[in-house]
Structure 1
């Protein structure tokens, strides 16, 4: 299983910009950064849906319009940072707005198959939650959904984006899943979990485990709309396959008007491979042979 991230350069580029700006504490304010670049930053009307933001160019002048229909400060900050990504990442301005003027319409949210949108999403996460500032806070925040909520409040970022960044930065075995109805929208696994042999990646469109609290939760749209939550136990094998039937924690929360659900899978106590080999040898040595 490959653990390479084709977009890691976009995250690293964002982090280097934050350092260059001498920003030394969270939260990072993307609107302020844009305005210091002499960008015009403007909110789109609440009724204007269909995209997360726009980058507008007129000669050497730029403007950012960001979506407000979700009424979510964290999503709005992410949308502005996403547009800054299109400005800062080498090659984006020329590819997305060829010529001296024009408009690029964005759809941020970590589920686009478009290379430029995916790169801008990773830039936004790294910009708002740069590892050198985010990781020390992560170490103090605890585990599960409660830790993600603490960091979301601190960084002024959405639960969705914060959960993904948590999975990218933590040393623990954990994963976050965004789902809708009975299927997976996308999943991010921590590096530690990616290294576990014998488990499978969760893919977009894959069905949720039949016995999971997430699937039961998603059957009631009102629970999602009202951002209700559930804390339960689950099993590693049900989510990721393999031969290990390890009990894990499953925190579930509805993402309100976004219409999707966030699941945090954590407290995954994977045995060391040496321990498993010793156990297998012990079982084999004590298994009697019977004559047929």
Structure 2
């Protein structure tokens, strides 16, 4: 049920993009203004939440965090609050305890409404029909994620998650800190590998991986250093066969975490598709 709700949230956002005739990068400020929603930046000294949706009678306002300097993070925060505004049932849920709702956008919450707003934001800023068209200009892996982030004006993290969700390539992205996994998203091709075991929150980063060694030096993360090396798919996901993969890693600066991109060349016999996924393919 929750997966269906998340896809619905993305589709509502994508329909909005089409109905409004929007293009990349989607102008979230103009969209808010068209609904008479005031958008203001919070001072950098105000930390703790990514954004706020405020209601006063029939009027709405959005305040977004600036303590993280990333334009992509700030745009995603605004789009997340727009999700609470546009998605049915959200205003009633988020304002049940008052007229100010605080959010922590970025797929970090387990709350249903926060996750739906995150997926709305992804669909709004990176609508599948425009994202797929743009993706064809890049080779698979980190280069594609970086290029798409630039075109959509989204963070590397949000772009990587969307890329993993929509890509036809066998790709997985992992966000980690030290020796612990925050979360992992994998494409349907990757999940179709025989014996595939998905990395869950708080799983241990493989000891022999490039990422594990990379994370031991905090300067790699703080300075957004990147590296890459050949790897094996079963090192990360315990697949049945020995499948070569390429591991790319980049520090996420003040976010304090690392983005890892695993790309594999899956043999044709192993390239099974998840029958439940009917979304767009890139190539």
TM-score by length of 2: 0.92
| Deviations 1:89-127 (CA, angstroms, capped at 9, x unpaired) | 11000111138x601000011121111111111000000
1:28 aligns with 2:42: no
Deviation at 1:274, TM superposition (A): 8.0
1:206 aligns with 2:203: yes
Name the SS of the counterpart of 2:262 in structure 1. strand
Larger Rg: 1
1:124 aligns with 2:121: yes
In 1, are the aligned partners of 2:52 and 2:81 still within 8 Å (CA)? yes
Name 1:134's counterpart in structure 2: 131
1:270 to 259, 266, 269: 266
CA distance in 2, matches of 1:233, 1:151: 24
| Deviations 1:48-90 (CA, angstroms, capped at 9, x unpaired) | 1100000000011000000111100000000000000000111
1:105 aligns with 2:102: yes
Name stretches of at least 5 consecutive residues in structure 2 with no aligned partner: 272-283
Aligned length: 269
Name the SS of the counterpart of 2:48 in structure 1. coil
Name 2:13's counterpart in structure 1: 14
Name the SS of the counterpart of 1:257 in structure 2. helix
CA distance in 2, matches of 1:38, 1:220: 47
**Aligned pairs (5 A) from 1:248-287:** 248-266=245-263, 268-273=264-269
**Higher mean displacement: 178-187 or 192-201:** 192-201
Name 1:172's counterpart in structure 2: 169
CA distance in 2, matches of 1:124, 1:135: 17
Over aligned residue pairs, what C-alpha RMSD do you find? Answer: 1.5
Deviation at 1:6, TM superposition (A): 4.9
| Deviations 1:145-170 (CA, angstroms, capped at 9, x unpaired) | 11111111111000000000111111
CA distance in 1, matches of 2:212, 2:75: 30
| Deviations 1:238-292 (CA, angstroms, capped at 9, x unpaired) | 00002222110111000000000000111x12223389xxxxxxxxxxxxxxxxx
| Deviations 1:151-198 (CA, angstroms, capped at 9, x unpaired) | 111110000000001111111110000001101100000111122221
| Deviations 1:186-245 (CA, angstroms, capped at 9, x unpaired) | 000011112222110100000011111111111011110110100111110000002222
**Higher mean displacement: 131-140 or 74-83:** 131-140
Name 1:285's counterpart in structure 2: none
CA distance in 1, matches of 2:239, 2:148: 32
* Distance of aligned partners of 1:236 and 1:89 in 2 relative to their CA distance in 1, 3 Å threshold: same
* Distance of aligned partners of 1:274 and 1:132 in 2 relative to their CA distance in 1, 3 Å threshold: closer
In 1, are the aligned partners of 2:194 and 2:270 still within 8 Å (CA)? no
Name 1:43's counterpart in structure 2: 41
CA distance in 1, matches of 2:96, 2:245: 49
CA distance in 2, matches of 1:189, 1:274: 15
Name 2:153's counterpart in structure 1: 156
TM-score by length of 1: 0.89
